[in-house]
Amino acid sequence: MSGKKLSILLISDDLYWIEAVEESLASSDLTVDATFESSALEMVRDRLAGENAYALVIVDVMATENTSRLVGQIRQQQSEARIVVATAAPTWQLAREVFRAGAMDCVRKSLSKRTLHTLFAGILSRVLPS
Amino acid sequence: MAQATILFADNDPDFLKTRAEFLEQEGYLVIPAAGPTEARRILEAGKIDLAVVDIRLVNDDDEKDISGLVLAKEVARSVPKIILTGFPSVESVREALRPQLNGLPATVDFVAKQEGPEAMLSAIGKVLMIAVEGGETGAPTPEEEGEPKAVKSRQAQVRLAGGIAAIVTLLLATGTGIVALVTGDPRWLLATVFLAIFMVVGIGLAVFMPE
């Protein structure tokens, strides 16, 4: 390990949700960068160039024009990117599309910090080095 | 790829027969299975290019029946599998397509029966195309598992053979060169030139053959 703090990129325009996610991850020693869809690819690219790629990218469906396209574009930039798609109204078709595009999971969006904490604890246990 | 062999597993005999006939018309060799035990036996026997598996292989009315998913996860991991279900849900998609601990999903695609045979056909075509191109199918193909090692091994053998050939021809060329100088016989000189060419080829193989 290089000792660098691991970072998560959160692509969302929902300020309440961003705050809830940040608070739910506050105890996990991770930094959270929040951004809009328009800057997301640039941020992924910049981090990749700096050899400190995001450990996890969380995509809020409501913040994207075409979620599966964005997931695919992120994967094109960073083939090992771990991407989780969050939506308040998941459907099996959306889940299939984002998995086909390369997402590692499709989860229900929640504003409950407790639910989010449990959710991200499960995801991070699969993502972060033990 | 030659005619692809597809395992089609579904506990509904009418649906199984209809879809199997449809796939046969499209040029595939279809091996039907009416339940998880039969499907498992066929998968374990090998020679299957792709499996299309219903989630509820035991009881269509039982929401907890995920025998098809269990089969897909446990048996013949190198065979790409498509989940076909009449009861699609977010949870079943996640179970089928979410990467497992090894980083690969249990199945390579998920199709609802309601989407019709064309959707199933399209999914099958894409998976087999990816397998032929040697791309990612979600599960490693036999080629992905085996061939790279074999290719590496062949390259190492060529490098070794090149090195040995270079050393042997160097010794021989030195000998024939000395004889050519002493005797002035042009045949020995010609032999030396040929040996030098072989030596250069051997050095080229030993040095430039990729790792």
Per residue in B11-50, pLDDT (tens digit) is 999 999 999 999 999 999 999 999 999 999 999 998 899 9
Q: Which of B49, B56, B58, B44 is nearest to B27 (CA)?
A: B49
Q: Which of B89, B101, B109 sits opposite A92 (nearest CB)?
A: B89
Which tokens go with B64?
A: 């907890």
CA terminus-to-terminus distance, chain B = 29
What's the confidence (pLDDT) of residue B150? 41
pLDDT (average), residues A92-112: 94
Pairing of strands B81-85, B109-112: parallel
A92·B93 Cβ contact <8 A = yes
Residue of chain B minimizing CA distance to A103: B98
Per-residue pLDDT tens over the stretch B184-201: 888 888 888 888 888 888
Most confident of A31-35, B104-108, B127-131: A31-35
Q: Is A86 on the interface with B (CB under 8 A)?
A: no
pLDDT(B59) > 90 = no
Q: Establish, for the pair of chains A and B, how many residue pairs have beta carbons separated by less than 8 Å.
A: 32
Q: How many separate helices (H) and strands (E) can be counted in chain B?
A: 7, 5
- Measured in whole angstroms, the distance separating CA A23 from the mean position of its chain's CA atoms is 15
B105·A99 Cβ contact <8 A = yes
Q: Is B98 on the interface with A (CB under 8 A)?
A: yes
A100·B89 Cβ contact <8 A = no
Q: What is the mean pLDDT of chain B?
A: 84
pLDDT(A48) > 70 = yes
Distances (CA, A) of A80 to A67, A72, B197: 18, 12, 47
**Confidence band (pLDDT; 50, 70, 90) for B205?**
confident
Q: Is B102 on the interface with A (CB under 8 A)?
A: no
- Rounded CA-CA distance B139/B105 in Å is 7
B98·A104 Cβ contact <8 A = yes
A100·B97 Cβ contact <8 A = yes
A99·B93 Cβ contact <8 A = yes
pLDDT(B144) > 50 = no
What's the confidence (pLDDT) of residue A130? 60
Q: Please report the DSSP string for A80-106 in residue order.
A: T--EEEEESS--HHHHHHHHHHT-SEE
Map out the domains of chain A with their CATH numbers.
7-120 (3.40.50.2300)
- Better-scored residue on pLDDT, B70 or B185: B70
**Confidence band (pLDDT; 50, 70, 90) for B1?**
low
Within 13 A of B192's CA, how many CA atoms are on the CB side?
15
Q: How many separate helices (H) and strands (E) can be counted in chain A?
A: 5, 5
Within 8 A of B106 by CB-CB distance, chain A residues are none
Q: Is A30 on the interface with B (CB under 8 A)?
A: no
Residues 6+ apart with CB under 8 A from A61: A67, A85, A86, A87, A88, A94, A109
pLDDT(A86) > 80 = yes
Domain chopping of chain B, boundaries: 5-140, 145-208
CA terminus-to-terminus distance, chain A = 11
Handedness of CA A84, A90, A94, A99 (dihedral sign): positive
- Rounded CA-CA distance B56/A24 in Å is 37
Q: Is B94 on the interface with A (CB under 8 A)?
A: yes
Model-wide pTM > 0.90: no
Q: Please report the DSSP string for B171-210 in residue order.
A: HHHHHHHHHHHHH--HHHHHHHHHHHHHHHHHHHHHHHS-
- Rounded CA-CA distance B162/B156 in Å is 10
User: pLDDT above 90 covers what percent of chain B?
Assistant: 47
User: pLDDT above 90 covers what percent of chain A?
Assistant: 61
**Confidence band (pLDDT; 50, 70, 90) for A3?**
low
What's the confidence (pLDDT) of residue B154? 60
**What is the CATH architecture assignment of B5-140?**
3-Layer(aba) Sandwich (3.40)
ipTM of the complex: 0.85
3-state secondary structure at position B83 = strand
Within 8 A of A100 by CB-CB distance, chain B residues are 97, 109
Residues 6+ apart with CB under 8 A from B211: B152, B155
3-state secondary structure at position B78 = coil
pLDDT(B132) > 80 = no
pLDDT(A52) > 90 = no
Q: Is B112 on the interface with A (CB under 8 A)?
A: yes
Q: Which of A90, A99, A126 sits opposite B97 (nearest CB)?
A: A99
A90·B90 Cβ contact <8 A = yes
Which tokens go with B31?
A: 């091996």
Look at A102-116, B116-130, B176-190 and tell me which has the smallest mean pLDDT: B176-190
